[in-house]
Structure 1
Amino acid sequence: MKHLLGPDLGRRHFLLAGGATALAVTAAGCGSGTEPAGPTTEPGGPAGPATPRSGGRLRAVFAGGGTNETLDPHLSNLFVDAARAKALFDKLADAGADLAAVPRLAESWTPNETLDTWTVKLREAAFHNGLPVTARDVLHSYRRIADPARAFRAKASLEPIDLAASRALAPDTVEFRLKRPHAEFPDVLASFGAYIVPDGTEDFTTPVGTGPFTFVSFRPGTSLRLRRNPDHWEGAPHLDELEILTADEESARVNALLGGQADYAHELNPATARAHEGGGRIEIIRLRNSAMQGFVMKTDRAPFDDRRVRQAFFLIADRKELVDGALSGAGEIGNDLFGKGARYYAADLPQRTQDLERARALLREAGAEGLRVTLDTSPVAAGFLEAAGIFKEQAARAGVTVEVRAGNKDTYWKDILDGGVLASYRSGAMPIASHIAQRLLSTSTTNATHWRQPDFDDLYAQAQSTADPAARNALHGRMQRRLHDEGGFLVWGFADWIVATAPGVRGVAKEAPANTLDWARFDKVWLA
Structure 2
Amino acid sequence: MARRGGSLRVGVTGGSTADTLDAHTPVDNPDIARVIQLYDTLAVFNADFAVESALAEFIEPTVDAAGWTIRLKPGLVFHNGKPVTAADVVYTFQRLLDPATHASAAPQLSAIDLNNIRVLDSLTLQLNLKRPDVTLPQTLALYHTGIVPVGYDPRHPVGTGPFKYSSFTPGKQSAFVRNDRYWRPGEPYVNQVTIIDYPDDAARVNALLAGQVDAIDELPLGQVDAVAHRADLRVLESQTGDWLTFTMRVDVPPFDDERVRQAFRLVVDREQMVREVLGGHGVIANDLYARYDPAYLSTAPQRHQDIAQAKALLKQAGHENLTVELVTAPVATGLMESARLFAQQAATAGITVHVRQVTPGVFFGDNYLKWPFAQDDWFTRNYILQAYDGTLPESPFNETHWNDPTFTRLVAQARATVDQSARTNLLHQAQQIEYDRGGYIIWGFTNQIGAYTAKVNGFIPSRSGLPLSQFELRRAWFTA
By how many angstroms is 1:291 displaced?
A: 3.0
- Per the alignment, residue 81 of structure 1 pairs with 31
Partner of 1:235: 185
Once the 2 structures are TM-superposed, how far is the Cα of residue 513 of structure 1 from its aligned partner? 3.0
User: Residue type matched to 2:221 in 1?
Assistant: P
Kindly report the root-mean-square deviation, in angstroms, between the aligned alpha carbons of the 2 structures: 2.4
Cα 1:498/1:517, change in 2 over 3 Å: closer
Is residue 171 of structure 1 aligned with residue 122 of structure 2? yes
Q: For the residues of structure 2 that align with 1:417 and 1:222, how far apart are their CA atoms?
A: 25
Deviations 1:32-76 (A, max 9, x none): xxxxxxxxxxxxxxxxxxx32333332222235345544332232
Shift of residue 220 of structure 1? 4.4
- Pairing 1:475–2:426 present: yes
CA distance in 1, matches of 2:447, 2:14: 21
Task: Quote the Cα distance in structure 2 between the aligned partners of 1:274 and 1:134.
Answer: 49
Q: Tell me: CA distance 1:523–1:82, structure 2 relative to 1, closer, same or farther (3 Å).
A: same
- AA at the equivalent of 2:118: R
Other-structure match for 2:474: 523
Q: Which of 249, 252, 260 pairs up with 1:309?
A: 260
- Alpha carbons of structure 1 residues 204 and 247: separation in structure 2 relative to 1, 3 Å: closer
Distance 1:472-1:74 versus aligned 2 partners, 3 A rule? same
- Are residue 246 (structure 1) and residue 176 (structure 2) matched? no
Q: TM-score, normalised by structure 1?
A: 0.83
Amino acid at match of 1:353: H
Deviations 1:204-237 (A, max 9, x none): 43x3321122344445444433333333222132
8 Å contact 1:84–1:244 — kept in the other structure? Answer: no
Which residue of 1 is the match for residue 40 of structure 2? 90
Contact 1:442 1:454 (C-alpha < 8 Å) held by counterparts: no
Q: Quickly say closer, same or farther: Cα 1:445–1:412, change in 2 above 3 A.
A: same
For 1:188, the equivalent position in structure 2 comes to 139
| Fraction of identical pairs, as percent | 37
Query: Which of 4, 21, 25 is residue 71 of structure 1 equivalent to?
Result: 21
In the alignment, which of 357, 367, 385 is matched to residue 336 of structure 2? 385
Match of 1:300 among 251, 254, 273: 251
Question: Structure 1's 167 and 251: CA in aligned 2 closer, same or farther, altered over 3 A?
Answer: same
The answer to whether the 8 Å contact 2:239/2:446 transfers is: yes
Map 1:343-492 → 2, pairs under 5 A: 343-413=294-364, 419-492=370-443
Is residue 324 from structure 1 mapped to residue 275 from structure 2 by the alignment?
yes
For 1:219 and 1:309, how far apart are their aligned partners in 2?
A: 47
Aligned to 2:78: 127
Q: Which moved more, 1:443-452 or 1:93-102?
A: 93-102
Tell me by how many angstroms 1:392 deviates. 1.4
Alpha-carbon distance, 1:407 to partner: 4.0
| Count of matched residue pairs | 477
**8 Å contact kept, 2:21–2:154:** no
Distance, in Å, in 2 between the alignment partners of 1:89 and 1:236 is 17
Is 1:153 matched up with 2:97? no
Give the aligned partner of residue 39 of structure 1: none
Which ranges in structure 1 are unaligned for 5 or more consecutive residues? 1-50
- CA gap of 1:188–1:123, structure 2 versus 1, over 3 A, is same
- Structure 1 residues 60 and 166, CA gap change in structure 2 (3 angstroms): same
1:495 aligns with 2:446: yes
Question: Within 2, Cα distance between the matches of 1:486 and 1:345?
Answer: 17
Distance 2:251 2:471 in 1: 40
The answer on whether the counterparts of 1:276 and 1:282 sit within 8 Å (CA) in structure 2 is yes
1:42 is matched with which residue? Answer: none
CA separation of 1:504/1:407 partners in 2, compared to 1, >3 Å: closer, same or farther?
Answer: closer
Amino acid at match of 2:22: D
Question: In structure 1, how many angstroms separate the alpha carbons of the residues matched to 2:467 and 2:130?
Answer: 27
